[in-house]
Amino acid sequence: MQESIRIAFFDIDGTLLPFRAGALPDSTQKALAALRRRGVKVFIASGRPPIHLPLLHALDGIPFDGYVTMNGQYCYLADGTQLYSHAIDPAALRTLLPYIQREKISVGFIEKDRSTFNLINERSAEFCQRMQQYTGDVAACIEAAPIYQLSAFLPADKQQDFLASCPGCVAVRWNDDFADVLPAGGGKTEGLAHVLKALGLTREQAIAFGDGGNDVEMLRYAGIGVAMGNACPEAKAAADYITDDVTADGLANGLRHFGLI
């Protein structure tokens, strides 16, 4: 089985990196290096946008062959070559603006190289400080450049009302504080499919590791889907195999289980 795997996709938070940790586990770093030595391409597959990755210093010095970012909405190689992009319809974003203004919901409008918030409140303040996020004229942002994803800081019970005001969009979660809002039909699976096509690979040649709700479809799609021991129940149900927690060498143990390292 291991000989057929040519590419591996890894979520970041809760998969590569324990939440709130400042560095990848040593076993994870060694496992990624061993995987690349075997000739397996190593990709990030995260809800995070490209602009946030340089601020995530836990990844400093860790080589990756490419990135599936913003839950599959923007995919590129390590040299910056774009493989795929899928933006939200600007008309849906214009429809959304009166709702978030009226309800005072903090939302990040995420472009390839910029993220702008309409407002920062108690729910988003810590995140915005840590990720160096600022407020601005989001109506102007919508007209100026493609918006690939929204970070909507709202509880899960308000998610449907939000989506009703943003037609043609869906939401996925990997954090209790906010939902990632994407164009309908988007998601990590879409990103993986386009990366594989660009590289001349098939889904049967891919292994994917994840832990959150936004990883569920990716785990189902890949030839092998591995859920971390700390994964949510939905991710575990979607996986072919459940490894140990991220803090208990789960990523290395999962690769070892399939004979990939």
Q: Catalytic residue positions?
A: 11
CB 235 within 8 A of CB 219: yes
Give the CA count within 13 Å in the CB-facing half-sphere of 162: 26
Residue type at position 105: I
The whole-angstrom separation of Cα 100 and Cα 254 is: 42
Q: Which of 177, 229, 193 is nearest to 14 (CA)?
A: 229
The whole-angstrom separation of Cα 154 and Cα 2 is: 42
Q: How long, in residues, is the chain? A: 261
The whole-angstrom separation of Cα 36 and Cα 232 is: 28
CB 256 within 8 A of CB 35: no
The token duo for 1 is: 């089985």
